[in-house]
């Protein structure tokens, strides 16, 4: 389920960002240090090869696409 959601979001972002100005790219959610530390701890605790880890990595790639779109 999550992989389908992330795949659809990635397709949407790639299509919407490529030919347009940065002002029409979606905003990124900003996370504070406390949240990022907690997230890192939880991700490190995941078992190797977990589906959730894959989804987190997909989400990271989506954030990279949005950052590129905005620059």
Note the pLDDT of residue 24. Answer: 80
Task: List alpha helices for 18-71, DSSP H.
Answer: 33-44, 51-70
Note the pLDDT of residue 32. Answer: 97
List CB contacts of 10: < 8 A, sequence separation 6 or more: 58, 61, 62, 65
Q: What element of type H or E holds 15?
A: helix 2-17
Domain ranges of the chain: 2-70
* pTM, two decimal places: 0.57
DSSP-derived letter for residue 28 is P
pLDDT in tens, the chain (71 residues): 555 655 555 555 555 555 555 568 888 999 999 999 999 999 999 999 999 999 999 999 999 999 898 87
Note the pLDDT of residue 12. Answer: 55
């Amino acid at each position: 389920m999550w992989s389908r959601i992330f795949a659809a979001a990635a397709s949407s972002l790639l299509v919407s960002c490529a030919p347009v100005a940065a002002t029409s790219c979606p905003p990124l959610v900003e996370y504070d240090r406390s949240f990022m530390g907690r997230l890192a701890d939880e991700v490190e605790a995941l078992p190797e090869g977990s589906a959730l880890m894959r989804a987190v990595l997909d989400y990271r790639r989506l954030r990279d696409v949005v950052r590129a779109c905005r620059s």
